[in-house]
Amino acid sequence: MIQKNAKVFALGHLIFPVVLLLLFLNQTQFVLLALAVLSFLFTSFLIHRAYVVGDLSQMLRMPGLAVIVFIDMAIVTVVYVLPSWSPGVNPTWLLLFLLPLYASELGKRTALVICGLAVAEISLLTLVQGGSFLSLNTVMSLLGIIVMIVLVGRTSDNLVRMAYYDSLTGLPNRAMFKDRLTALLTKRGSRQKGLAVLFLDLDQFKHVNDTMGHETGDALLKTVADRIRSRIDKDSLLARMGGDEFALLAPNITSADQATQICGIIFESLSEGILLGPHEIYATTSIGIALYPTHGTTPDILMKNAEAAMYRAKQQGRNHYQYYLAPEKTEAQIERFAMEAMLRKALEKDELLVYYQPRVNTKSESVVCVEALVRWQHPTLGIVAPKDFIPLAEETGLIVQLGEQVLRKACKQIKKWQDEGMDELSVSVNLSPLQFRQQHLPGVIARILRQAGLKPRFLELEITESAAMQNVNRNILMLRELKEMGVKISIDDFGTGYSSLSYLKKFPIDALKVDRSFISGIHEDPDDAAIVNAIIALAKTLKLNVTAEGVETESQYLYLQQHRCDEAQGYLFGKPMPPETFEEWYKLNMREKDLMFSPDF
């Protein structure tokens, strides 16, 4: 049973003592005054529980609901029986003030039960007065009661469905789940009975939507919901929390073993393939578990901890369950844990953005390439700096998924720009050390290029000097396989690592990128200038291109031109920009005869 506004239910009862008081003024029977006072005291009790204690919503459930209905019906009974009503006066209409409260608050089914009690009350009144039950006054009152209950109750039920149920699966939604959890915790406060909150997230659901369409995805969600609902205990509540996330509320759980058994039932319900049109899909889910009172005593904490455990289950390999593990109670660890959970969700929902920074050929002074750089615009935190989430992504292994998303978006964007007239524009994408160690990396890159329709020669992969020097022989084979595909390779941040020249000449690479730390001091520090000149000379000897990063002044750019550096990149030309801003920047430079230095972009 769902309550929408217990405060309205309580305030609505005020009309009954007011009507009784008016009847007293008209009939001058002190029994009516006493009944008005009694009704007012009961109404005051309801208002107190609704506004002061705040638990009237919980009271409007069995067995509390039965007590409230009994008192209301008892007051009505006494009003019908004790006063001396004049012949022909049938105050059956009193119920018309009371029953709509139940209809609007509790829905049509509950109101119809109350209606049955109302019929009994009216029968009692006619029996006491010795009149006919089928009198016009009684029949009209009954019709008014029934019509009001049907209209108000049906509207109430429709509002409940809209507010508390998921339209796709028919399951309760997050609001109803939290409401039911709150009610159970209120009942368990004194008795300390256990319960479990399970958060479920379908594995790779986004892939189903992307490859088979949203209709297939919706059908999969409905089938999964039906299968799980048919296997769980009738006292448990399965809800859809949004997207591909579900939650299960299991009452009367006294041990972790019982919660584990529920996970086994869920996994078993999804073990068989799901036929959706021509497709057969095998759905799996990752489950996080929070137990009351071990892992929390409030609805918000239990739900948050179950969701955190679910993300840890995904990290452990998916199609798995994990219980909530409390992190160390330091502020930095709590913040890191929250950041990791938010980053996982951003990756699952593909919410990260890709910005593009231009790279300029120093001879032609034209844009030849853009570097793809990831940005995270959090809905509440705003722009999260890469230094705040890239190290975390590398530490947790999320950098692999993040890198693939950036690569996919960058290739699609470059292909779009090429189709719009930027014919020879290339893109460079950074590979993390963890990505570079993936055995299937060449296959992933080939698939992304094929899906984007981009020729391999327009993609440049940047690996750091330190990553290239780990497991050198394996890396050489990996780089050769990428080169055979037609992809370009560059060594990023060159000069900051510990590369061996004997190995460097064996790497099938195309370019070296001089680290920005050397460029910034190119005029002030002779050592920086000497290092830059040596890197350029080395690259020319090995027949490699050289790109200077972090170029911020015209004097730095002129120095690099004079010393035959092939390309330059930095704030002098443009900051990392979203696609729309880069398009404007590019069009402005196409219209100008000379290269525009655009530090404001």
Per-residue pLDDT, 412: 96
Per-residue pLDDT, 431: 92
| Low-confidence winner among 133-147, 526-540, 542-556 (lowest mean pLDDT) | 133-147
What mean pLDDT is reported for the chain?
82
Rounded Cα–Cα distance for residues 552 and 520 (Å): 8
Can you tell me the mean pLDDT for 531-548?
91
Question: Exposed (0-12), middle (13-18) or buried (19+): which is 488, by Cβ within 10 Å?
Answer: buried
Per-residue pLDDT, 200: 94
**Segment holding 416, helix H or strand E:** helix 399-419
Of 323, 308, 293, 309, the closest CA to residue 185 belongs to 293
Per-residue pLDDT, 481: 92
Beta strands in 163-273 (DSSP E): 195-202, 237-242, 245-251
| Low-confidence winner among 140-149, 380-389, 563-572 (lowest mean pLDDT) | 140-149
* Cβ pair 549, 570 in contact under 8 A: yes
Can you tell me the mean pLDDT for 565-575?
92
Can you tell me the mean pLDDT for 160-174?
77
Rounded Cα–Cα distance for residues 472 and 407 (Å): 24
- For residue 238, how far is the Cα from the chain centroid? 18
Give 2's pLDDT tier (boundaries 50, 70, 90): very low
Give 275's pLDDT tier (boundaries 50, 70, 90): confident
Rounded Cα–Cα distance for residues 139 and 583 (Å): 76
Share of the chain above pLDDT 90, in %: 34
Per-residue pLDDT, 488: 95
Rounded Cα–Cα distance for residues 427 and 450 (Å): 15
Give 103's pLDDT tier (boundaries 50, 70, 90): low
| Low-confidence winner among 55-64, 130-139, 507-516 (lowest mean pLDDT) | 130-139
Tell me the pTM.
0.49
| Low-confidence winner among 23-37, 54-68, 505-519 (lowest mean pLDDT) | 54-68
Rounded Cα–Cα distance for residues 418 and 412 (Å): 10
* Tens-digit pLDDT profile for residues 431-481: 988 888 888 899 999 999 999 999 999 999 999 877 887 778 888 888 999
Per-residue pLDDT, 190: 39
Per-residue pLDDT, 188: 54
- Please determine, for residue 379, whether its predicted confidence score (pLDDT) is greater than 90: no
Can you tell me the mean pLDDT for 129-155?
57
Per-residue pLDDT, 130: 59
| Low-confidence winner among 91-95, 103-107, 166-170, 195-199 (lowest mean pLDDT) | 103-107
Question: Is the model more confident about 84 or about 565?
Answer: 565
Can you tell me the mean pLDDT for 490-519?
80
* Tens-digit pLDDT profile for residues 297-327: 899 999 999 999 998 888 877 788 999 987 6
Can you tell me the mean pLDDT for 206-225?
85
Q: How many helices (H) and strands (E) does the chain have?
A: 25, 16
Per-residue pLDDT, 551: 93
Per-residue pLDDT, 13: 86
Beta strands in 282-436 (DSSP E): 285-292, 321-323, 353-361, 367-378, 382-384, 426-430
Share of the chain above pLDDT 70, in %: 81
* Cβ pair 196, 259 in contact under 8 A: yes
Per-residue pLDDT, 3: 45
- Is the alpha carbon torsion for 158, 161, 166, 170 positive or negative? negative
* Tens-digit pLDDT profile for residues 356-371: 999 999 998 889 999 9
Per-residue pLDDT, 94: 73
* Tens-digit pLDDT profile for residues 549-562: 999 999 999 999 99
Name residues whose C-beta falls within 8 Å of residue 114's C-beta, 6 or more positions apart in sequence: 69, 99, 102, 103, 149
Give 134's pLDDT tier (boundaries 50, 70, 90): low
In sequence order, the β-bridge partners of residue 533 are none
